[in-house]
Amino acid sequence: MATSQVETVSSGGDIAKLVAVAALVIGSVAGFYLLSKQGGVVQWAALLVGLAAAAGVFLISEPGKRFVAFGRDAWREVKKVVWPTRKETLQMTAYVFAFVVIMALFLWLTDKTLEWVFYDLILGWRK
């Protein structure tokens, strides 16, 4: 039986930061729509500044720090991956295409054989 751990925000400061993040996101989206008469540049500036402020507040909270640590760990793992060479990639792609063509021919032959058996031999419906 697999157990999963649910992490909750327990610090009052972190809860306040996450509430501020939500308020900043909602405020920036609302500002985008409320400033429609001011022009597109002002609208987008309000949205981007609000979202940047929300991201900044999130990144100084504990969940934000855990998120950054997770991203660093994930990037470290990606750097460990042994990526295939160009030659290997082209060979595997050719194998996949060849398999698809062979499978398509097999399915077409199977379909035509069953069509011939059922319609011509069993039912006698000649075309």
What does the domain layout of the chain look like in residue ranges?
A: 11-81, 83-127
CB 86, CB 56: distance < 8 Å: no
Task: Give the count of beta carbons closer than 10 Å to the beta carbon of residue 51.
Answer: 15
pLDDT digits (tens, 9 = 90+) for 19-32: 999 999 999 999 99
pLDDT of residue 1: 56
DSSP string, 6-53: PP----HHHHHHHHHHHHHHHHHHHHHHHTGGG-HHHHHHHHHHHHHH
Residue 10 has pLDDT above 70, yes or no: no
Q: What is the pTM of this model?
A: 0.57
pLDDT digits (tens, 9 = 90+) for 24-64: 999 999 999 999 899 999 999 999 999 999 999 999 999 99
The CA angle 32-36-42, to the nearest 5 degrees, is: 65
Provide CB contacts within 8 A for 125, sequence distance 6+.
119
pLDDT digits (tens, 9 = 90+) for 63-97: 999 999 999 999 999 999 999 999 999 999 999 99
pLDDT digits (tens, 9 = 90+) for 90-116: 999 999 999 999 999 999 999 999 999
